[in-house]
Every structure is written in C-alpha cells, then in structure tokens.
Structure 1
Amino acid sequence: MTFVVPLLLAGCAVPRKPPAEAVAVAVAPPPAPPAITPVEAEPLAPATQPAGLFTQWTQGPVGAMLAYADKVRPLGAPELAAELNRLGDLVETPAVQMQMAIVLAQTRASADLGRAIGLLQRVIANPSADAQPLQPLARTLAARYAEQRRVEDDRDKQAQQLRDSQRRIDQLNDRIEALRAIERSFARPAPAAAPVMPKAAP
C-alpha cells in the first residue's frame, strides 16, 4: 500500500502533450494581410451621381419652386397679373422673390424680364439660410433670362431696322412716282391756240 501512493503521485506529475492542432496553430500563424495605402476617392460628377441624390436635391425648396414654375407656365396674361398681385401682398422672402421672377418672365415683356433678373440677383446675393438652397436655381434662371433678354433685344432691333428700311423704301417710291408724274406732264402735247376772230368794223 505504501508503494502504490508514490506511483500514483508520479503518474499525476507527468505533463500531458498538447493536441497536434494546437501545436500547429502556435507554430504556423496565418500571414498578415498586405498593407493597403488609402486612396482619396474621386468626386462624382453630377451626371454620374445616382438618381436618388438627384431626387433628394429636387425635394424641398427647389422642388417646390420647380413645381410652381410648371404651374404658372401655361397661364395667360390676366392670370399672370392676378398672381403678381397676390405675390405682392405677401411678405417679401427669397421664395416669394423667386416666384415673382418666374411669373414676370412669363409675361413676354422686356421690362418685366429685367425686373425678374433683378429679383433673382437679390436672391443670389442674400446670405440667409432661406436663400441658400434656392441660389443654384436662381443663378441658372438668371443666366437663362439674361440670354432670353439678349435675344429679344436683338429681335426688336432687327424689327426696328426692318421698319426703318420699309419707310425709306416707301419714301423712295413716293419720290419716283412724283418724278414720273412730272415726266408725264412734259410729254403731253400743248393745247392748240384758239383762232383770233377779226374785229368787226364800226
């Protein structure tokens, strides 16, 4: 009995071998991934951006302004005048200024188009938080209205030149007709002289 206890204690003191898988993992760790240098992402052009971004951009004040422009586009002169009167009674804000500019551009009057450009310039120069979302659209409309005004001014100048040319042509025709009348008067034969009757003797 005294010999068995030391043998049992000796058996407990023998170290156990670790499993083969644990040894393999400890000896051969997986290689570290190669280092990747971060590259700055190139910004997307507006034409290549997803449609969702464009939808988000057209929502809010800009989307409301585009919808308003589509609403007033088919209106006639009386309806446009009534809309201008309605907007004139409202508090002048960047949104109201843009709406008035859109309506004025529909009247097809050169003076109203100049007023529309002036209102858009005020929106562009406004640093308030209400004006900033509308400024890209205001710049686009201001450039378009300026080009439209230039084309209309050129058309009016050409129409005036045409009227002046037609007036000069009419004046020349009148002069030519007067010269022809004088020429015809020279070509007429002189009237025959009446015979002189002898005086009777007293």
Structure 2
Amino acid sequence: MPFKIPDVVAPGTFAAQEQPTIPAPGAMVLRPWSTADAPAVHEAFQDRTLQYWHGYASTSADEVVGLIEGWRTEWTEERDAYWAIADAGSDALLGRVALRQISLSDGRAEVAYWTVPPARGRGIAPRAVTALTHWAFHEIGLHRLELTHATGNEASCRVAHKTGFTAEGTKRSALLHEDGWHDMHLHARVRDDAAPRTDQPAPVR
C-alpha cells in the first residue's frame, strides 16, 4: 500500500556528507569526535553528577575509544549525531551535544547534551544547543526537536528554557536512574517557532 506522505528529510542526508564543524557563539565549535578526545571524556565521566544524570561511568580511556568509534558509526547510519563542544582556540573539550533518535522521514530528533565540570555555569550548553538547533532546522531541514530531562535536573531545565524549547508536559516514570524511576519533562521546538533572542546563526564550515 503506497504511503502518501513524503519524507520530511531525504534518506542519506547525513550519510552523504562529512560531519561538519559548526561554529557556536562564545568562541566555541561543535566538531566531530576524535579518538584523541578519549582521555578527556574518561576524566569527565569520573564526575558523580555526570554519572548520575546520564547513567554511565568510564573505566578507562581505551573504553571511551570504542564509544567514540560507535558515535561515528551512528552518523553514517543516520541514527544519532554526536559532536564534541570545544574551545575554538585551544580545542579543549567542554562537553557534548547530540541529535538522538533521528527520524528523517518524520523530520524529528531529540537534543541531548552534557558539559565537563570546569565548563559549567558559563552558558556553554545553551550556546551549543542554540547552534545545533539552528543547523538542524536550517541546514538539514528537520521540523521538530525534542528535549527531555529528569524533573529533578533543574540545570537542564534552565538550558531548555534559555534555548526556546517550550515545556509540553511531564512523562511519568519514564526513565530509570540508579535510585529508581524518574518523571521526565518534555520540551520541544518546531522550525516555525520564533527563535530565542540568543539564537545567533553562524555559517557551517
């Protein structure tokens, strides 16, 4: 039976191109991951707060190398897209931002992020999410981006509001953490939404 609704984004849109480096406000870039980032990622995941909200702990930099290789594969398979948030001058790792659960046919993905402990409280996550959101809408053509976080994660909620992701409701008992099931706040932006005043589109190189 033929399906009458065309794909929002054509299959192969991600796989047909190299993952770009995306400039972000505040002298940052979102760049593809390198295996040279493994020690910094390993160090970041020694942080108990990062472990708690993301559910992962790193036992070695070698282990992280395999994780990074998996992130590269997911780009070519158009399932997820992960970027390192880095200082544009020193290339120091500041965090990670991602599009997860990509559905090109529906034009939808989920935004996710974390920052390394020394980078927190500096507006890095909002600027990275702003840059990635602009790229996803205006370079790729996605229609809807969702952002979810545990209701207790107030810092993540602030990022959502700062970047124009409207609160749409609460998903009850939706994610299992070490201490049990957590309710999740659901936020979203669609391409036609007015951009927050912090949106500063930048050319992709």
Q: Normalising by the residue count of structure 1, what TM-score does the alignment of the two structures yield?
A: 0.25
More strand by share: 2
- Bigger relative contact order (CA 8 A; separation at least 6): 2
More helix by share: 1
Task: Report which of the two structures shows the higher radius of gyration computed on alpha carbons.
Answer: 1
